[in-house]
Amino acid sequence: MRLDWECRTGEALGAGEAAYEAALEAGDVAGALRASHRLALIHFNKESLAEGLKICIRAETWLRYCQDQAAIISLQSIHGGLLVALGDLETGFALLTDCQKRTKSCTDPLANWRARTAYAVALFDTKDFDRAAEAAAESLDYAETSSLAKGSVLIARSIASRMAARALGEHRLAGREVDTILLSRTEAQLRSILTDAQAENLPYEIAECHCYLGLLAWTRSEDAAAAAHYIAAIAACRVAEDEVLLAETSYWYAYLLAGQGAFAEAVSLLAAIEAMEAALATPRMKLRHFDMRFRIAEMAGDWKAAFDYHKIYHEMVIEDYRRLASARAYTMKLALDLETMRRKEDSARLERERLLEENLRLAAEQREAVLASRTDPLTGLGNRRELQLRCRGWVESGVTHAALLLFDIDHFKRINGLSHAVGDIVLRRIAGLLGGIGPEGSLAIRMGGEEFLLLFPGTTAGDAFADAERLRLRVQDHDWSEIDPRLEVTCSIGLADWSLTDKLEAALHIADANLYAAKNAGRNRCMATQA
């Protein structure tokens, strides 16, 4: 642990492996699980998630022989956290929930605190920042009232402060109300941690405190103080040789600079991150990086660059899902190989399990490919293939009729005239505004260009008219000026009834005629009957 705190990662991993082997040699199964927890935690903190998962899977072999609840909780808490970070939310949270249940019968406060902290970190990794901050605060309360060692309490304070600061910063980013009492309490806590870290000469903790003190200062609009903290954090990161935290600090500093109009300096900071090998070594950090490049370009009004970066980000999201599926299949294969070496008499069963994992991986890839074939890449809505499949499903489930809303953006050529990037942003915004319109089970698809189609199963055009009007007003009243001060967007909607026993094209023809009538009547209106 001391080697890890001093950022001597290689030595810490070597010491952990030696402890694991010594525990097995002595027949100390609980000791092997605790050593595995420490090894996996080091990999987790260094973002080498696949390596951490290998450690957990290797140690799983010994769980069946262990009666020590504290050791089991310690291992499963980091195992669950790694799975969540890798994208397997269902399995990861199932393990973390099991850990929470085990704490009720476990008397070891350190293991119980680890279970609570791992749950908070998992929420943070899913970007549920508010709930993560609440869970981390509860974990800190437990640590401070359970006679834990000073080092563990320091870590609990650091995690709770970091998560609270990030939640407050996200509120500022989203323009939501900031809890000033929580902000002041978090700031005081970070300053206290900073004092302890400086006394112990812990460069990583010093850097982390400055980073989040800067974020809090920015949250209360104290830009000069925020910049000073970010600069101090960057210097401490270089001492700690931690490029991941250096990148995190640089992102917030770049956002501050961009908000002041210093776009060249902000872009320079982001470009420097791209030269850091470790900072962008993991897909999660790459996603964060290109999301930030998109944000800065958008703030600068550089719509072409914003679109290019957002496209890269979108492609990386798709690639990340594929990578996660492959990583999980690979680590499971390693687990099967280890089990085969230890229990040769069980080899036939293990081979069947390996084949099952491979089939699941292939099935997941097939599902992803099918989903991609049914989705419009720009807006994320369904496409015509999705329309066909959903309509077929409605017929099979006994739905007899539906209302069609054919939606068209007024004067879209003028919008594209501002720039095609603006046009694409408008299309994505419109796709977002379609959400929540109509009864449960409704379908929204992009027909092509600026035309969208909504289908309300089991509803008539007359009943759907109020929803159409609500959608029209939602588009009209949306704040489009944040995209471009010259931008005004309205829509026209044509409605029609469709009996599912008839061809869809006939109902679409009526909806199109009503849409045409709405356009001729002056646009920005809904028509349910032909003029």
* Mean pLDDT comparison of 59-68, 92-101, 449-458, highest-scoring range: 449-458
Contact 159, 117 (CB under 8 A): yes
Q: Which of 244, 241, 219 is nearest to 49 (CA)?
A: 244
In this prediction, residues 106-120 reach a mean pLDDT of: 88
* Predicted structure pTM score: 0.53
Q: Which two tokens stand for residue 158?
A: 């650091």
Q: Which two tokens stand for residue 79?
A: 């195992």
Q: Return d(Cα 76, Cα 60) in angstroms, integer.
A: 9
pLDDT over threshold 70, residue 445: yes
Mean pLDDT, the chain, integer? 84
Burial class of 215 by CB neighbour count within 10 A (0 to 12, 13 to 18, 19+): buried
Q: Provide the 3-class DSSP secondary structure of residue 447.
A: strand
Radius of gyration of the chain (CA): 27
Q: Which two tokens stand for residue 302?
A: 């550089």
Residues 203-237: pLDDT tens digits? 888 999 999 999 999 999 999 999 999 999 999 98
Alpha helices (H) in 62-179, listed in sequence order: 69-85, 89-102, 109-125, 129-144, 150-174
Residues 312-326: pLDDT tens digits? 778 777 776 666 665
Q: Which two tokens stand for residue 428?
A: 């994505």
* Side chain identity, residue 155: I
Contact 186, 168 (CB under 8 A): yes
Residues 404-422: pLDDT tens digits? 999 999 999 999 988 999 9
Q: Return d(Cα 477, Cα 454) in angstroms, integer.
A: 20
Contact 323, 286 (CB under 8 A): no
pLDDT of residue 531: 39
Q: Which of 129, 134, 135 is nearest to 116 (CA)?
A: 135
* Side chain identity, residue 215: L
Q: Return d(Cα 266, Cα 279) in angstroms, integer.
A: 17
Sign, CA torsion 78/79/85/88: negative
